[in-house]
Structure 1
Amino acid sequence: MISSSASGLLQQMRERLEQLPDAQRRVVQYVLQDPREAVAATVEHLAQQAGVSMPTIVRTCRSFGHDSVREFMLALAQDLAVSGSYIHRSVLAEDAVQDVASKIVHAAVSSLADLGRRMDVDMIDRVATQLAQARRIDCYSVGAASTFMANELQSRLFRLGRTANAIFDAHQQLVSASTLGPGGVAFVISHVGRMPYTIEAARFARSQGATVVALTQPGTPLAEAADLLLAVSVPQDAVMRVGTEAYLAHLVIIEILTVRLAQKLGPVATRGLQQFKQLLHKHGFDSVGYEGVLDQAPGMEQDD
């Protein structure tokens, strides 16, 4: 057994990987794919993900000089604090391109799997019911990431026949909040959840009788200002305030929510979606039919 004081635990695991028995190698490979997730995982979760028994987890920790899993994880957390990367939470500066791709994909998949385990499906159902009954739905956002999400949500609601707007201007959000009233929904999207003027608009909309739905992290000021909270928790990104994993998590929540809404709206929504798809297929800018129209237009030259 080698004491982790000789060198960093992460470095030890990389150096000894090929020398370990098969089962222990699987454990170490899993830990190296996303060390920060491993630190927070239970022994049962580690064993399940690595495809080994729980005693194998203990033996692996002991093979690196630690008497318990807790001691091993503490050493791993300390090593991460010292050697943490500002490139990506799972990627080290010396990683090869194959490792970069593997770690980022694994981190995204792991984050979505964790989202699925934590998801409050009853809350999603309540929000879908509220959207189905709403007279008007105004989607508030701030910043590039949240505005992208608000536009995506508005587009999906629009296709389902809901009266919906996407608003990112601070003054327009206040105007919206003053006119929604009972029967209206202010759907506020902000992963950070701390922008003062958007929170002010949410609170004002609520004071006017509208229902406020927030898609944000739990425990934020926005979460506290909402009637209904769609909570999204993902690991913090090393570079951006809202990283790729947060993007994916928000999109997945929006997808689930709008599919559930379509179920509640029934055949009318299904027929509308089918008609909309057929319309775009026939007349959309990227359709074969539209290219034919361009070919017939006077003065249009054909590209080689």
Structure 2
Amino acid sequence: MTAKRPADRPAPIDIVSRLQRVDQSLSPAERRVADIVTADYEAATRLTIAELAARADVSQPTVTRFCRSLGCASFSEFKISLATTLTVAAAYLKSERVFEDDAGQLARSVMTRAAAAVRDCLDQIDSKVVAQAIQALADSRRIDLYGQGGGSAAMIEDAKLRLFRLGIPVSAFVDGHQQRMSAATLQPGDSVLAISNSGRSKPVVEAVEIARSFGASTIAVTRPDTPLAAAADIVIAVTIAEDANVLMPTPSRYAHLAVIDTLAAGVAMKLGGKAREALRRVRYTVARIGIAIPTPSTDPTLLMRQQEAEE
């Protein structure tokens, strides 16, 4: 028989969100306790009930009532819940450097980090492994792309846009169930390209394992010594340190984009005339609806004027 949650206990959410939600319903004395906790969450996990009461200038029973207002049965349960929340949220609860209105300073910071990520990626990648990945993709009858989460999901969509224009059947999957189903339909001559910054996304790892079991070539862009790296045939190992400021962009995205561009350019060169013809047809078709794609030798403005004159 499943034990029922007491009617007065809130739903199980992280303790910081719970504190924000009940703040206005706390008594003045309990709010003083909350102020001490929110001033330094990490320090609060190390305080005894007596120390917290003294800092807030309240009684120990008031601290206990504060804990119960948050849905915790005791001060010990409150400390455990807070410590558990901080294991994944501590970086988000710290104030960061503020750029105020200096957009130029912010732009320099973001773009310097982006350039550094690409340089670090170039220093890390094994050119022989990259060549193997390019050859496998160029030889593929079909390419399926796997990624999950905000960053990796966006990366595989970009890879799809780069590769399908070369005339290769390409699909991108961000749903774990669809990744498994896609992997089960692959066969020798097909390829999978999986992208994961952590290398520990279980659905992606399992889909790569399934694809490999059916004979497909499996390529991973990920960190070394991770489950995904172990599951793939070809591993383009990339480790980019993330910014300590959680409000800044994730620099690994730039490294992954650089790898995708390298692979796509390499595949295009391997395919040669086939890729050029596919790209020509894409360019011609898009130009017919009034979109001029610039090339190194073509001014898109002139291209647009030429089309307008023809119409």
Same fold (TM over 0.5): yes
Unaligned regions of 5+ residues in structure 1, if any? Answer: 1-84, 297-304
- In the other structure, the counterpart of 1:92 is 97
- In the other structure, the counterpart of 1:183 is 189
Asked if the contact 1:182–1:208 (Cα under 8 Å) also holds between the matched residues in 2, the reply is yes
Asked if the contact 1:86–1:238 (Cα under 8 Å) also holds between the matched residues in 2, the reply is no
For 1:275, give the aligned amino acid: R
State the distance in 1 between where 2:285 and 2:115 align.
Answer: 34
Seen in structure 2, the aligned counterparts of structure 1 residues 108 and 277 have a Cα distance that, compared at 3 Å, is same
Asked if the contact 1:157–1:164 (Cα under 8 Å) also holds between the matched residues in 2, the reply is yes
- In the other structure, the counterpart of 1:125 is 131
State the distance in 2 between where 1:111 and 1:195 align.
Answer: 22
- In the other structure, the counterpart of 1:236 is 242
State the distance in 1 between where 2:114 and 2:267 align.
Answer: 26
TM-score by length of 2: 0.59
3-state SS of 1:130 partner: helix
State the distance in 2 between where 1:242 and 1:201 align.
Answer: 31
* 1:200-279 to 2 correspondences below 5 Å: 200-240=206-246, 243-279=249-285
For 1:92, give the aligned amino acid: R
State the distance in 1 between where 2:154 and 2:250 align.
Answer: 13
- In the other structure, the counterpart of 2:88 is none
The answer to whether 1:199 aligns with 2:205 is yes
3-state SS of 1:193 partner: coil
State the distance in 1 between where 2:193 and 2:247 align.
Answer: 21
State the distance in 2 between where 1:100 and 1:93 align.
Answer: 9
- In the other structure, the counterpart of 2:66 is none
Deviates more, 1:162-171 or 1:275-284: 275-284
CA RMSD of aligned residues (A): 3.1
3-state SS of 1:180 partner: coil
3-state SS of 2:251 partner: helix
Seen in structure 2, the aligned counterparts of structure 1 residues 86 and 172 have a Cα distance that, compared at 3 Å, is closer
| CA displacement, residues 234-258 of structure 1 (integer Å, 9 cap, x when unaligned) | 1213355994421111111111111
- In the other structure, the counterpart of 1:152 is 158
State the distance in 1 between where 2:247 and 2:108 align.
Answer: 22
Q: 1:269 deviation in Å? A: 0.8
* 1:67-78 to 2 correspondences below 5 Å: none
3-state SS of 2:288 partner: helix
- In the other structure, the counterpart of 1:63 is none
State the distance in 1 between where 2:105 and 2:138 align.
Answer: 45
- In the other structure, the counterpart of 2:118 is 112
For 1:212, give the aligned amino acid: T
State the distance in 2 between where 1:242 and 1:192 align.
Answer: 18
For 1:135, give the aligned amino acid: R
- In the other structure, the counterpart of 1:61 is none
The answer to whether 1:139 aligns with 2:179 is no
Q: 1:280 deviation in Å? A: 0.9
State the distance in 2 between where 1:105 and 1:86 align.
Answer: 22
For 1:261, give the aligned amino acid: V
State the distance in 2 between where 1:249 and 1:182 align.
Answer: 29
- In the other structure, the counterpart of 2:108 is 102
| CA displacement, residues 14-60 of structure 1 (integer Å, 9 cap, x when unaligned) | xxxxxxxxxxxxxxxxxxxxxxxxxxxxxxxxxxxxxxxxxxxxxxx
For 2:216, give the aligned amino acid: A
3-state SS of 1:283 partner: coil
State the distance in 2 between where 1:203 and 1:126 align.
Answer: 19
Equivalent pairs counted in the alignment come to 207
- In the other structure, the counterpart of 2:7 is none
TM-score by length of 1: 0.61
State the distance in 2 between where 1:241 and 1:191 align.
Answer: 18
State the distance in 2 between where 1:103 and 1:242 align.
Answer: 9
Which is greater in Rg? 2
Q: 1:278 deviation in Å? A: 2.3
| CA displacement, residues 69-90 of structure 1 (integer Å, 9 cap, x when unaligned) | xxxxxxxxxxxxxxxx8699xx
- In the other structure, the counterpart of 1:282 is 288
| CA displacement, residues 196-242 of structure 1 (integer Å, 9 cap, x when unaligned) | 12211111111111111111122221111111011222121335599
| CA displacement, residues 134-157 of structure 1 (integer Å, 9 cap, x when unaligned) | 121110111121111111111221
3-state SS of 1:92 partner: coil
Q: 1:101 deviation in Å? A: 3.0
State the distance in 2 between where 1:212 and 1:261 align.
Answer: 16
